Amino acid sequence: MADKNLQFLDIPRSDPPKTAVEARVRDFREIYAPYDAATAAQQAGRCIACGNPFCEWKCPVHNYIPNWLKLIEEGNLFEAAELSHKTNSLPEVCGRICPQDRLCEGACTLNDGLGAVSIGAIEKYITDEALRRGWKPDMSNVQPAGRRVAIVGAGPAGLACADILVRNGVQPVVFDRYARIGGLLTFGIPPFKLEKQVMEKRREIMEGMGVEFRLSCDVGRDLPFGDLLGQYDAVFLGMGTYAPVKGGFAGEDLPGVYEALPYLISNINHELEFPGAAQALISLRGRRVVVLGGGDTAMDCNRTAVRQGAESVTCTYRRDEGNMPGSHRDYKNSREEGVEFLFNRQPIEIVGAERVEGVKLVETHLGAADARGRRLPQPVAGSEEILPADAVIIAFGFLPSPPSWLNEHHVRLHASGRVRVSAGAANAFQTTNPRVFAGGDMVRGSDLVVTAVFEGREAARGILNYLAVA
Amino acid sequence: MPAPSSGLYKETYERDSCGFGLIASLDDAPSHWLVHTAISSLNRLTHRGAIAADGKTGDGCGLLLKRPESFLRAVAAEAGIYLRGRFAAGLVFLSRESGEAAAARATLAAALARQGLEVAGWRVLPVETEACGADALRSLPRIEQLFVNCPTAELDEAAFNRRLFMARRFAEKARERDPLFYVPSLSASIIVYKGMVMPQHLVQFYPDLADARLESSVAVFHQRFSTNTLPQWRLAHPYRYLAHNGEINTIQCNRNWATARGPLLRSALLPQLQEVLPLVSLSGSDSQSLDNMLEVLLMGGLDALHAMRLLMPPAWHGLDAIDPELRAFYEYYSVHMEPWDGPAGVVLTDGRYALCTLDRNGLRPARFCITANRCLTVASETGVWDYPPEEVVRQGKLGPGDMIALDLKTGVLLSSQDIDQLLKSRHPYKSWLKKGVRYLESDLVDPRLAAEPMDRATLSLYQKMFNVTQEERDDIIRVLAQDENEAVGSMGDDTPLPVLSHQVRSLYDYFRQQFAQVTNPPIDPLRESIVMSLQTQIGPECNIFEPAPEHARQVVLGSPILSQRKLRQILAIEEVTHEFIDLQYPPGEGLRAAIVRMCAQAESAVREGKLVLLLSDRYLVKGRIPAHALLVTAAVHQHLVRTGLRCKCNLLVETGTAREPHHFACLIGYGATAVYPYMAYQVLFEMMRGGRVKLDFAARLELGRSYRAGVRKGLFKIMSKMGISTISSYRSAQLFEIVGLADEVVRLCFTGTESRVQGADFADLEADALALARLAWNPREAIAQGGLLKYMHGGEYHMYNPDVIAALQAAVISGDPAHYREFAQLVNSRPPSTFRDLLALRTAARAIPLSEVEPAGAILARFDGAGMSLGALSPEAHEALAIAMNRLGARSNSGEGGEDPARYRTEKNSKIKQVASGRFGVTPEYLINAEVLQIKIAQGAKPGEGGQLPGHKVNDMIATLRFARPGVGLISPPPHHDIYSIEDLAQLIFDLKQVNPTALVSVRLVAEPGVGTVAAGVAKAYADLITISGYDGGTGASPLSSIKYAGTPWELGLAETHQTLRINDLRHRVRLQADGGLKTGLDVVKAAIIGAESFGFGSAPMVALGCKYLRICHLNNCTTGVATQHNVLRSKYFTGLPEMVINYFRFVAEEVREILASLGVRGLAEIIGRTEYLEARPGVTPKQRKLDLTPILSSAGLAADAPQFCAVASNAPFDKGELAERMVRDLLPAIEGKRGGEWSYALSNFNRSIGARLSGEIARRWGNYAMEDAPITVRCTGHAGQSFGVWNAGGLHLYLEGDANDYVGKGMAAGRIVLRHPRRAPFVARHTVIMGNTCLYGATGGELYAAGVAGERFAVRNSGAVAVIEGAGDHCCEYMTGGAVCVLGRTGVNFGAGFTGGFAYVLDLERNFVDRYNHELIDISRIHPEAMQSHVQHLEGLLERHVTATGSSWAEEIRGDLRTFLPKFWVVKPKAASIDSLIDSLRRAA
């Protein structure tokens, strides 16, 4: 290398190789190959170690990105894995599915035309490779604190909470209604983004650390919540948001119109070869599919439909390309895989006599910005058209779906249905019931995996504080 | 008149400097002529002194005479005083109040009586008060002459003097509270006349001096330049024995050790010595303390030669070639006395010897001559009296560490060698040392870096307990070991001061390193390391008056940083008994009580005879917490000094707190003898084990040594910042300012250290330790990640954090005021991080409409860009800044890197041109294209150090502008080699005002205690503008530790400066600027209220241009294209536009207007210095709440209507340069008409900077070079004053027959300077000094021929001039980057240090040049006539031109017999350059 300091110029950013489109749409496997050690080191070496690490600043869990990049550059894999786990309980997951282009890589100083450091791919490399080589979190210094905490929900918030608790000697017991851990990580995110053995490996690691999982146990149904309160020193709720946002237009109930999540879950269950999954599978093979929405879930639906063998997949979004909320990477991959995009189109009706025949769309233009600075789409009069379709997937996002039993246990909600935390509470993420903590989507509304991880970790610190486990 | 104590001004900050001299008759023949000549010589040094605001009061001058016996007898008789055969006379300053005066007389008489002496009588000394200015009159004492008779003939003169000394000491102790009582001299051998008058009025004031009967054979004279205008009568020089020019940089240390050592001193000659402690004045001037110490040594029985060699030894550690016997002499005494290092030139007489000596650095000029009338004259300058040239028998200069002495008894003139010969043979020092001294093996290879490696858990515990972060491990400790150097970084320190922080910060962070600026120089640890030493001894100190073999029993260490092995070795030595003092204590005891207990333990151990106290926190115990090693070390040291035990023991500190050089400097600075940093070794060991330190096997074994080498360099740097050369002169010198510790801590541990704003007390420090202990003993907690150096989430707050950067950039790109308000809100409401954040505007005043406030333009005119060089910045960024500032009506600053002439007179021109120590691209044309010339004395990010531009940033363009070679890194010397003291600065200011009379001269200082006093001196040196920078300023490249630990907040420095200037009635004469971390209008308003009328911005406009505060400026890979010379990054990724900077400053100005409106004032001028507009607001944390910021807001007891800002257009010098003006009148038509011609002038030493006025006029019309084809010849005779031919422009040819003082041809761009001795001179020209020090400094071209020897540091930073001289002093061609120097004779040592370009020929007749050149960067080779024909020709050409120009007979001889001489020449060149390329490159340059 001529000049280490100019490595970012001499060596361009290079993402890990992707499986060719023709091959990858035939199955549900992950499309990115892992880095080899040399490439990882070289790509990590592109980091200029800024005095103001904008990547770390922008990262919701504030990963020590420049520091572990340096460790990888220098070949200290296990130390990098240790460091990576200091701020993130699921780095191999975030490395795969974070919208890095909007977070760390988007903020990377080199992103001004020089090519951001491939932070996500390296993050994934670190943990995958370290685990492959036998690394495990160092638990040798952990002394049991003699406390037990129940965690409801084995999604990112719950797992992150368990991770921090167990590292501090508190025994976490994680309940989930599904048979596998991960929540949406397992059942929402398609395997081509996150293969299911990743979560299996994580389960193995966490169990090795001392986390106990009680799966296929739906708290509130299989087990009264009151029992948890009785048997544990504290409870953490990380149950996500599952109520789909409705379009509010005619035809939503027509056969052939699907909610995004049931669609994705049915497919994953099928891929996991769960009993009965084949019968429940929503297969869109040979269909003309229209996906409504422009977020990450919409992209997941698009690409799942492609892989199922849909005749065509068209995705409509009411704003323009630049205003899409999701990961740009997923959008690009969708396009590569043959998804058609129609921007500035708002659905106003799903048409069809017996079942779906098409979607009525109106063109929009972007009007004034709302309070959050996002410009609102305005319909253009007289621009209606009908897009023919055999199947329509609605992916408008999710709303809080708080279980009914919260109230009786004095866990109060915001008007929107989100769980109220930290309001006057002494400890972070404590609900109005002092022994109950909550975090993740059910607290902040539907958001990124990484923010759920962050909240789960912070809530764990609140719990430790509450339990006086210093 | 003294300042009220509420403010920041203190009289103790006073610094001085001066001109001095000595005239002595070789035959000890008294004459009035000699006295008269001394006075007239003094008068010729007026430009080296300063004048008070009243225009008449000088800073003081005086005469020290060998006793004029017949005169004294005559005046005594006239006064009716009976004198016996042996008598003494002295001058006494008394209170003007007669009762007090009578009491003082009685005290003195009684003290004399107790010594068995009798007062013969008091003579009221005739004085003429007309000679005094108003300031002097205010403090004028009653002056009387005291005569004392020696009662018995058995008392010889020396014994009589000793009794007089004891009597005086007793009287002084008795009259301690009498501010005026002072005895300038009382001796049977000498007498002093001195006062606060200008030299021209001294005779008028003391009519005695005009009395023809007053005859003496020796006169020492002195003219003082004090930095403030409140000097005292007693502080005029000479003191009782000596007069001193310069500063004693080590004075703090010397005073402290003098106190500590007092109890050890025993002399049979002075039985009552212990009753008159302290021996050395702890206040007053440094020279006074030196004089005190000298007096004690003389009275105790040493002679003046011995005493001065002991106090100011030459550099002997680093010189391999030194005589072993002589080395032994110095080494023996080094155990018992640390050097009193200058910069110092001392002249003295005790009646037996008349001598002059320079300290090891030789930074003060001292020229001597012997005239035909057998008279020796030594003075700061040549030509102080008008001796005819043919009567000069011999003339010369003193070099570093040189001494010249006249033995008045024998009439023999002794050289340094004679004196050393004499001294070394007095005792068998060498054999004493051989028997007594144990030199500990230094352990190069130490596989057991940590002989007891800690397991991971233990290491983690220790790291947490001592607050070691991953960041520190990686970026500080690892770098020290891996690179053997301190880590380098860039940008500034944007974190809160430790007392403001919400984090637990290291105690060391509260200590700010002091540094030398203006009144004394830093020294150069890189290029002049031969003067430096870390040698440390362990052993008891003994009585200096009784040389004995057992006093040489010492363990000698090469460095105070111990390895484990070395510590073990020391402790294993049988006679080294030691006491283990555990630094831990149970929290219930309380930190303060624990420290007091440890002091008591130390005291009783020493009383039991323990030689070593081992303070240790090595064995942590749960439930106990460690008291910080620095607190205990300092407290124990102080306690032992107070109890008189310190010199009987040594303090070894085994601590986990010490990891980087600053930590060691603190420990040693507060008294530690040596430190064993076990934590650093453990960390390194673990990193090595874990593969974090990438080294090959051999290097791994030497990891500990490498780490110590890195620390050593850091320590050298810290010491050299204060101008200190040896660790023994640094130990316990307490050269720090404490920012943020409560008085209770300072009183117990750090007595005497400056600490001005209170802060953390023992309870807070204990809480910090407890917090760390809680984490440390919790095995689940990992060590902290860090965040002190770089922003890190959850770590320390950073004022330029990503939010701030993003907000500012959004604002300047959009131009949207709403975005700016978001930015300003982020900054103005940040957690308190600077002192100004704890000062709130008082909003009681009634607001006025915005329209009534002065327009933004008026505010913008007060904004300056901070100096950022082209080199540090890309040309695109540099030009964008210049364009923006020019369009705004503000000023941009060129920085230290020259400027492309194509930018002059365009909107890209930088209105401020900087002159820094490297003098890169400083030419007359550069200087005349400026509205302001800024002398960068110090930079906030790294005061006391020079700039550095890494080689990869020196591309072709940068190299051209800087007259340097592409790819070779450029370092600016730590000192300006023409500013070693305040009068030197006055000279540089004069040089600049001569070349560009219309420019304002600005001087940039960095805040530290005493900066106000320095600023007062700068104002008296006729600067027009003074900038006070805070510690938080930025840098393009600097060691991280300098960024973190030096300099203090500008709030303190600015307030102190404003207050000091006002108290000294100087505020109206200069503009004052604040600089450092200014970001918003609120910052500007607060700075104005504290006292600034002008504002400097560095980082913020850079951020406006796209800088993201990446801190990689030193790597040349700035991705924003702002701070890089990389073509791709500049051209493709720099997106800055002048408009962004314009937007930024307009926003700031508008914010200022809004705030002014809310305060109800119409213009910024109305609030300057009006501190009633600010109030302290309570802090957020307990530490913040304990701060006391009222000193910043003090009005210094002055009325608000006394001047608050500058009221004059410029600060015109006292010296009108009349001869230079006449020359301009004579020559201007020839210049304008480009006609050429020849003129002649006679010069005296007070005709300074001759040629500069002409060069300025030439450059204004013709640039640097365009008049070369029609040159003007100016022929001068006599003694040229300083800076002859400074900034010489093309077309000006200066010829001088005579000799010249310092700085000949400084900054020369082109043209010619020729010097030759007078034709009638009887001495050998080629062996005789013809010009002073630092000639050709920073020259970029032109030719200089001198038929004689040049002084020290000839051609430092020469980058293009061609010179032929016939001999040179030390450090010749230092930092040279271009041009050619031919030396036809002997050179001093350290030739060519830092020499990276150009070449030299040296004629080495004595064949010892090999020992005299610095081997680091250059090699030397012989000239082979066949193979190197071009060099032979080139040399012949030089010789020929030299002969033609000077008529040198020596050069003629060489030329005539070149075949014989050629083999004796060396070609000196940078190692990197090929020999054949040299002449080519010279031709290309020409």
CB–CB contact A50 B457 (8 Å): no
CB–CB contact A53 B474 (8 Å): no
Residue B112 backbone class (left: φ over 0; alpha: ψ -120 to 50; beta: rest): alpha
Instruction: Spell out which residues of chain A touch residue B479, defining contact as CB-CB under 8 Å.
Output: none
pLDDT score, position A1 = 42
Phi then psi dihedrals of residue A63, to 5 deg = -55, 145
Which residue has 């879930």 as its token pair?
A297
How many angstroms separate the CA atoms of A362 and A381, rounded?
A: 8
Pairing state between β B863-865 and B367-371: unpaired
CB–CB contact A169 B780 (8 Å): yes
**Mean per-residue pLDDT for B683-708?**
83
Answer whether A465 touches B (CB < 8 Å). no
pLDDT score, position A425 = 63
**pLDDT tens track for B1128-1181:** 999 999 999 999 999 999 999 999 999 999 999 999 999 999 999 999 999 999
Q: How far is CA B184 from the centre of its chain?
A: 29
Q: Kindly report the nearest CA distance between residue A63 and chain B, in angstroms.
A: 9
pLDDT score, position B1197 = 81
**Listed residue (B1440, B1443, B1441, B1354) closest to B1400, CA to CA:** B1354
Answer whether A263 touches B (CB < 8 Å). no
Q: Residue B663 pLDDT > 60, yes or no?
A: yes
Which strand ranges, in their side-by-side order, compose the sheet holding B242-246? B242-246, B344-349, B353-358, B403-407, B412-414
**Listed residue (B1024, B1037, B1029) closest to B972, CA to CA:** B1037
Q: Residue B5 pLDDT > 70, yes or no?
A: no
Q: Kindly report the nearest CA distance between residue B464 and chain A, in angstroms.
A: 15
Answer whether A306 touches B (CB < 8 Å). no
Residue B531 tokens, joined: 């003067």
Answer whether A142 touches B (CB < 8 Å). yes
**pLDDT tens track for B762-780:** 999 999 999 999 999 988 8
Is B18 marked active-site? yes
Q: Kindly report the nearest CA distance between residue B770 and chain A, in angstroms.
A: 14
H/E stretch holding B770: helix B762-776
Q: Kindly report the nearest CA distance between residue A321 and chain B, in angstroms.
A: 23
CB–CB contact B793 A3 (8 Å): no
Instruction: Spell out which residues of chain A touch residue B1112, defining contact as CB-CB under 8 Å.
Output: 5, 48-51
pLDDT score, position A397 = 92
In chain B, the percentage of residues whose pLDDT exceeds 70 is 97
Instruction: Spell out which residues of chain A touch residue B798, defining contact as CB-CB under 8 Å.
Output: 52
CB–CB contact A75 B1115 (8 Å): no
Q: Which of B18, B649, B1107, B1276 is catalytic?
A: B18
How many angstroms separate the CA atoms of B490 and B1027, rounded?
A: 21
**Minimal Cα distance from A51: which residue of B?**
B1110
H/E stretch holding B536: strand B536-538
Q: Residue B293 pLDDT > 60, yes or no?
A: yes
* A52, A64, A107 ranked by CB distance to B801: nearest: A52
**Listed residue (B587, B495, B510, B614) closest to B772, CA to CA:** B587
Least confident of A177-191, B88-102, B432-446: B432-446
Instruction: Spell out which residues of chain A touch residue B803, defining contact as CB-CB under 8 Å.
Output: 57
Pairing state between β B863-865 and B912-915: unpaired
Answer whether A404 touches B (CB < 8 Å). no
**Listed residue (A50, A39, A65, A47) closest to A4, CA to CA:** A47
User: Beta strands of B835-949 (E only): which ranges?
Assistant: 839-841, 863-865, 912-915, 932-936, 948-949
Name the pLDDT band for B17 (thresholds 50, 70, 90).
low
Residues in chain B: 1486
Which residue has 């091959």 as its token pair?
A23
User: ipTM for the complex?
Assistant: 0.90
Residue B811 tokens, joined: 């604002």
Mutation for testing the A interface, residue in B686, B772, B790 having most A CBs under 10 Å: B790
Q: Residue B2 pLDDT > 50, yes or no?
A: no
* A58, A109, A142 ranked by CB distance to B1119: nearest: A109
Kindly report the pTM of this predicted structure.
0.93
Q: Residue B1484 pLDDT > 90, yes or no?
A: no
Least confident of A30-39, B164-173, B1078-1087, B1112-1121: B1112-1121
Instruction: Spell out which residues of chain B touch residue A111, defining contact as CB-CB under 8 Å.
Output: none
CB–CB contact B801 A57 (8 Å): yes
pLDDT score, position B569 = 87
Least confident of A158-172, B106-120, B173-187, B1467-1481: B1467-1481
Q: Which residues of B205-235 are buried (b: 16+ CB within 10 A; e: fewer)?
A: bbebbebeebbbbbbbbbbbbbbbbbbbbbb
Phi then psi dihedrals of residue B1316, to 5 deg = -145, 155
* A53, A112, A141 ranked by CB distance to B779: nearest: A141
Q: Kindly report the nearest CA distance between residue B1095 and chain A, in angstroms.
A: 26
Asked whether the beta carbons of B1388 and B1409 are under 8 A apart, the reply is no
**Mean per-residue pLDDT for B1041-1066?**
93
Asked whether the beta carbons of B241 and B276 are under 8 A apart, the reply is no
Instruction: Spell out which residues of chain B touch residue A5, defining contact as CB-CB under 8 Å.
Output: 952, 1112, 1115-1117
Mutation for testing the B interface, residue in A47, A48, A52, A111 having most B CBs under 10 Å: A52
Q: Residue B230 pLDDT > 70, yes or no?
A: no
pLDDT score, position A233 = 97
Instruction: Spell out which residues of chain B touch residue A66, defining contact as CB-CB under 8 Å.
Output: 790
Answer whether A258 touches B (CB < 8 Å). no
Instruction: Spell out which residues of chain A touch residue B816, defining contact as CB-CB under 8 Å.
Output: none
**pLDDT tens track for B1205-1255:** 999 999 998 889 999 999 999 999 999 999 999 999 999 999 999 999 999
CB–CB contact A53 B1112 (8 Å): no
* B460, B952, B1109 ranked by CB distance to A52: nearest: B1109
Least confident of B315-319, B852-856, B957-961, B1169-1173: B315-319
Residue B791 tokens, joined: 């922003």
Cα–Cα distance list, A102 to A55, A322, B263, B820, B1002 (Å): 10, 12, 72, 24, 48
Q: What is the mean pLDDT of chain B?
A: 92
DSSP state of B284: S
More confident residue, B627 or B137: B627
**Listed residue (A201, A173, A171) closest to A186, CA to CA:** A201
Answer whether A116 touches B (CB < 8 Å). no
More confident residue, B843 or B485: B485
CB–CB contact B1109 A110 (8 Å): no
CB–CB contact A53 B791 (8 Å): yes
More confident residue, A375 or B1187: B1187
How many angstroms separate the CA atoms of B264 and B270, rounded?
A: 13
Q: Which residues of B595-620 are buried (b: 16+ CB within 10 A; e: fewer)?
A: beebbebbbebbeeebbbbbbbbbeb
More confident residue, B699 or B1320: B1320
Q: Kindly report the nearest CA distance between residue B1034 and chain A, in angstroms.
A: 13
Answer whether A8 touches B (CB < 8 Å). yes
How many angstroms separate the CA atoms of B988 and B917, rounded?
A: 12
Q: Kindly report the nearest CA distance between residue A49 and chain B, in angstroms.
A: 8
Residue contacts between A and B (CB atoms, under 8 Å): 114
Distant-in-sequence, close-in-space partners of A227: CB < 8 Å, separation ≥ 6: none
* B457, B778, B1108 ranked by CB distance to A52: nearest: B1108
CB–CB contact A50 B474 (8 Å): no
Asked whether the beta carbons of B1467 and B1383 are under 8 A apart, the reply is no
CB–CB contact A113 B1132 (8 Å): yes
pLDDT score, position B228 = 58
* B1108, B1116, B1133 ranked by CB distance to A50: nearest: B1108
Instruction: Spell out which residues of chain B touch residue A52, defining contact as CB-CB under 8 Å.
Output: 790-791, 798, 800-802, 805, 1108-1111
pLDDT-flagged residues of chain A (< 70): 1-2, 424-425, 470
How many angstroms separate the CA atoms of A185 and A94, rounded?
A: 10
Q: Residue B4 pLDDT > 50, yes or no?
A: no
**pLDDT tens track for B1266-1296:** 999 999 999 999 999 999 999 999 999 999 9
